[in-house]
Amino acid sequence: MRMKSVSIVTGASSGMGMEFARALVSRPGLGELWLIARRIERLQSLAAELKTINPGLAIRPVAADLGGREGGRVIAGLLEAAGGRGEIFIDTLVNNAGFGTYGNFDATAIDRQLDEIDLNVTSLTAITGICLPYLERGSRIINTASLAAFAPMGGFAVYAASKAYVLNFTLGLAAELEAKGIKVIALCPGPVDTEFSRVASEGVRNKVLHGKPPAAVVRHCLTLLERGKKIAIMAPKWRLKSFLPRLFGRFFIAKVTMHTEKRPSKGAF
């Protein structure tokens, strides 16, 4: 009996997660698409939209808070409930759930910063580890990192550090899984037109400046993934900025971004 193919998208209720779901819905041979985020109404609306595109695909919206190690336990429970190993395999895992926080470290509530690490780092690592036994040759992992992964950033310190972890973890994992025929890529976007800025600024800034369309960023990432690339950086300006720390030094870039890329925040707690 042929195992069922499942794709999983975390952070699927908006932005790039939603676009990944739209891109995956027509993937040949896919049996189920799991959409995971906290906002069930948005997930249900997206599932209804995707059903009109591929009526034969089972689409499962799952409302869950994936922060910390609990994220791994949530995914483990879903996989076991679906039959476990031998019944299903994961075609594509998209680790897209995450958030950032604008503002200097000493002016931002420490609990929020730790929650950021829990979701961006601990949860992503746990979910990947739980999913690895379900991957087969031809399976794919997409981890959403950031252009911020390439250098420390003043006024964005924890986020940049957390995404540096995602980038390095992804590249190391790609090396380990290459011989098994499993493709792994780090998506490293600059500004994208999503809810990110509103969340990061806690409502002070509604939209990021000069944000690229999330659908275009996702398409570019999937194209590079199929070509076997390990990092996806879409815009030429983004690629240039990713290289600048090698020329000028990481601390210099941290100071420059603190003064030239001001990010509004609620301020001291």
pLDDT digits (tens, 9 = 90+) for 164-204: 999 999 999 999 999 999 999 999 999 998 766 555 545 55
- The tally of domains found in the chain comes to 1
> Is 102 noted as a catalytic residue in this protein?
no
Residue 177, domain CATH: 3.40.50.720
Query: Minimum mean pLDDT among 14-18, 156-160, 260-264: which range?
Result: 260-264
Structural domain range at position 143: 4-260
Taking the C-alpha atoms of 139, 220, 208 and 65 in order, what is their torsion angle to the nearest 10 degrees? -10
What would the mean pLDDT of 127-149 be, rounded to a whole number? 98
Taking the C-alpha atoms of 210, 216, 222 and 223 in order, what is their torsion angle to the nearest 10 degrees? -110
Q: Is 117 a member of any domain?
A: yes
Q: Is 196 a member of any domain?
A: yes
Quote the pLDDT of residue 46: 97
Question: What Å distances lie between residue 106 and 102, 156, 222, 257, CA to CA?
Answer: 11, 11, 38, 17
Q: How many CB atoms lie within 10 A of CB 27?
A: 16
Q: Is 156 a member of any domain?
A: yes
Q: Is 140 a member of any domain?
A: yes
Q: Is 267 a member of any domain?
A: no
Q: Is 146 a member of any domain?
A: yes
Q: Is 18 a member of any domain?
A: yes
Quote the pLDDT of residue 30: 95
How far is residue 201 CA from its own chain's centroid? 19
Quote the pLDDT of residue 266: 62
* Three-class secondary structure assignment of 73-109: HHHHHHHHHCCCECCEEEEEEEECCCCCCCCCHHHCC
